[in-house]
Structure 1
Amino acid sequence: MRPTQDLKGRLNVHFQGEEGIDAGGLTREWYQLLSRVIFDKGALLFTTGGNNATFQPNPNSVYQTEHLSYFKFVGRVVAKALFDGQLLDVYFTRSFYKHILGVKVTYHDMEAVDPDYYKNLKCLLENDVNDILDLTFSMDADEEKQILYEKSEVTDHELKPGGRNIRVTEETKHEYVDLVAHILTNAIRPQINSFLEGFNELIPRDLISIFNDKELELLISGLPEIDLDDLKANTEYTGYTVGTNVVIWFWEVVKAFNKEDRARLLQFVTGTSKVPLEGFKALQGISGPQRFQIHKAYGAPERLPSAHTCFNQLDLPEYTSKEQLQERLLLAIHEASEGFGFG
């Protein structure tokens, strides 16, 4: 209820019934406690993505009275924490960071929500669809319900006017994927807008837009403490073994990384820099516990490493030298593009 200008002042925290002068420690504790309450699933405001570790607005938050005013409040809290240089005990989905930044979300972001549906869309883009006679610009209720998580009051609808009678062709398949993927955003568009209304009161978009989604995660949640020995002990291999040169080089290269690049590697492979409280043995995938994976990627050795975040899987080509591996890996975790996007 305070005006925006007041929120820019210094915050002093005093816990009722406790003695203590706030020299920074009480404020840190307050932000941690507040973020845990906000993102408690029982509050219905946020729900976790496929890895059960990252949050985004719950499409069912409408069942919470005045839910949009709560999202504006949460936007203010996250912005105030950033403004004060405080960390929150929360990690968002990659797509939600992009919404905060006003960056295009790509259809790849659906992989963390529903990997099977993502594969279907990817398959459409990579193959000729002219032979699929029953593919039209419409969706049935089961498909839409699948994308919208647990939201159930959905009906068959057209993706564009007359879409039920318009076949998807090779020329229009990108438009189809674009429209289908929009459902991922439109289901929570009111919540996103209310969050941003509160967030942008303190931090205008043009100021936050200098960061990318991965950097914003580290600003909000801080750099993780990554125990490399623990990660290595909880890594599984396919096509390689612990004694393969590429694997030996990989761990030597990562050991030489600074904290930021280790965090970027974890983001690249798992979708977030969050380290489980119980260590990497408790790393989660789309369908439960899923350890860190390194798979052999076949094809030209000049290819960049790629990742499947819903499986915590790094696809690593068989590079010919440690130097080549280092150069390709750093390029991938810093610059790799996800390609086709939608607004």
Structure 2
Amino acid sequence: APQSIIPYFPVVESFAILSTMTDKDAEKTKEKEGADSKGGDLTFVSFAEKHSLLVNSLIKHDPSCLEENFKILLKHPLLIEFENKCCYFRARISKGNDDHHHGSLRICVRRDCVFEDSFHQLRHRTADEMHGRLNVQFQGEDGVDAGGLTREWYQVMSRAIFKEELALFTSGGNGITFQPNPNSMIQNEGVDHLQYFKFVGRFVAKALVDGQILDAYFTRSLYKHLLGEPLSYEDIEAVDPDYFKNLKWMLENDIEGVLDLTFTAETDFFDKKDTVELKPGGSTIAVTNSNKAEYVNLIAKHRMTNAIELQIKAFLEGFWEIVGKDLLEIFNDNELELLISGLPEIDIFDLKANTEYVGYFSNSPIIKWFWEILVDLSKEDKARLLQFCTGTSKVPLEGFKALQGVSGPQKFQIHKAYGEPTLLPTAHTCFNQLDLVESYTSKEQMKERLLKALHLGSEGFGFV
């Protein structure tokens, strides 16, 4: 924290303590009088909203205050910067490890069978043992693991879990993010496929415990499952962009006499098709304009959850054995991806060189402001922008010229939008598209609108 703000720490801390005491007294009064009594007009939470930079700088100066006098902010995680959330998470993990003595966790694996060997050597380890210090040896290779071999094992493993021959995961519409394969039971290694999913969940959680970054990116719906957050039909875009467009069209248009649907879904297991009801009696209930919203939510839930429910459950069981669900509560789904996969190195000049404009030109004032704003963004906010526009923070290995869209290679696009300057920027992740209204009156106003969109996660798919 800048030295100039440190003198404010005891004052702000005292206010936090006093505010907490006032809130508790107000609650007691409320219980006694049964009225809508309120505490002081200025609570610590409202103070933190108005002075977010100051409060987060103080947290950075003394991270332990989040476990003590600033604890109330944990109930308002939007007010805490991602870096401070990470420090809090690491401190909780470290404290848990300090409270227990963990021995060494030794494994010896064949490089070409790293997943299978790791699975068999770690599957019966207890959750407590999985917190031990990993010591990796690659069979037939020299080298003592002083940390480098462990890092390499995590990288090799994070690619191995997505191998096609394992059939555990399928890629989403962008070819970059993955979700459980509904037909994962086809693998015939003599192991229940759900045991594999539980192991993958433990592996991802173990990486978090060890502070290791994984080259593994999952669909938005899986991150939400880990956080216990509800899914929305928009989340299916990362799984099947074309299907998402069909659902979106249904919601926006009159379907009476156009679509002949019932509350059922078709399953496909190796060309063996079957029909399941989305709700009791669904096969006899027609989809109409009045109930189409319910249908869209149920069919999306089926595609993202019901069809892979057992796989998700096994993955979550393994993950939560190692990292408790409560430790993730302060993160949202975008932040969880960054926690697992790290903040990417984003070359703004490479992105700019591979950007297409629709309605704007490269020398349009809005476009000039946009690139000036991007250069000044923090590493975290650059990653949020990539998530906002493409659905993931992963940067293609070949650079932004290799960015993928719904129909193959698709460069980053900035489209002109129309409306009041109060509107937030919106995104269409299946097209790597950002919509900016032309009515912003200054770079500062545009930056404020853009940052609000990134931090609120208001991916609008054209809606505001």
User: So what's the TM-score if we normalise by structure 1?
Assistant: 0.91
Mark the CA change 1:58 to 1:133 in structure 2 (over 3 Å): closer, same or farther: closer
Are positions 1:325 and 2:446 aligned together?
A: yes
Higher helix share: 2
Residue 338 of structure 1 deviates from its aligned partner by: 5.6
Instruction: Write out per-residue CA displacement over residues 217-250 of structure 1, whole angstroms, 9 at most, x where no aligned residue.
Output: 1111111011111000001111111011100000
Distance in 2, matches of 1:245 and 1:72, equals: 52
Q: Where does 1:116-265 land on structure 2 (aligned, <5 Å)?
A: 116-129=242-255, 132=258, 134-139=260-265, 141=266, 152-184=271-303, 185-265=305-385
Are positions 1:90 and 2:216 aligned together?
A: yes
Distance in 2, matches of 1:309 and 1:328, equals: 19
* Cα RMSD, aligned residues only: 1.9
Residue 126 of structure 1 deviates from its aligned partner by: 3.0
1:81 aligned partner: 207
Answer with 171-180 or 123-132: which moved more. 123-132
Residue 129 of structure 1 deviates from its aligned partner by: 4.5
Which residue identity lines up with residue 245 of structure 2 in the other structure? Answer: K
DSSP 3-state at the match of 2:197: helix
1:103 aligned partner: 229
Mark the CA change 1:151 to 1:317 in structure 2 (over 3 Å): closer, same or farther: farther
Residue 113 of structure 1 deviates from its aligned partner by: 2.8
DSSP 3-state at the match of 1:199: helix
Which residue identity lines up with residue 219 of structure 2 in the other structure? Answer: T
Distance in 1, matches of 2:430 and 2:322, equals: 33
Which residue identity lines up with residue 225 of structure 1 in the other structure? Answer: E
Answer with 199-208 or 255-264: which moved more. 199-208
Residue 52 of structure 1 deviates from its aligned partner by: 0.5
Identity over the aligned pairs, expressed in percent?
A: 66
Are positions 1:67 and 2:193 aligned together?
A: yes
Kept after mapping to 2: 8 A contact 1:59/1:151: no
Instruction: Write out per-residue CA displacement over residues 126-146 of structure 1, whole angstroms, 9 at most, x where no aligned residue.
Output: 34445657343234x4xx55x
Kept after mapping to 2: 8 A contact 1:72/1:194: yes
Distance in 2, matches of 1:14 and 1:53, equals: 30
Distance in 1, matches of 2:141 and 2:259, equals: 69
Instruction: Write out per-residue CA displacement over residues 313-332 of structure 1, whole angstroms, 9 at most, x where no aligned residue.
Output: 11111122111110111011
Larger radius of gyration: 2
Q: In the comparison of the two structures, how many residue pairs are matched?
A: 332
Kept after mapping to 2: 8 A contact 1:115/1:310: yes
Distance in 1, matches of 2:282 and 2:242, equals: 24
2:396 aligned partner: 276
Distance in 1, matches of 2:259 and 2:186, equals: 39
Residue 165 of structure 1 deviates from its aligned partner by: 2.7
User: So what's the TM-score if we normalise by structure 2?
Assistant: 0.68
Which residue identity lines up with residue 401 of structure 2 in the other structure? Answer: K
Instruction: Write out per-residue CA displacement over residues 159-178 of structure 1, whole angstroms, 9 at most, x where no aligned residue.
Output: 22332332334432221111
Bigger RCO (CA 8 Å, 6+ sep): 1
- Structure 2: which 5+ residue stretches go unaligned? 1-123
Answer with 168-177 or 203-212: which moved more. 168-177
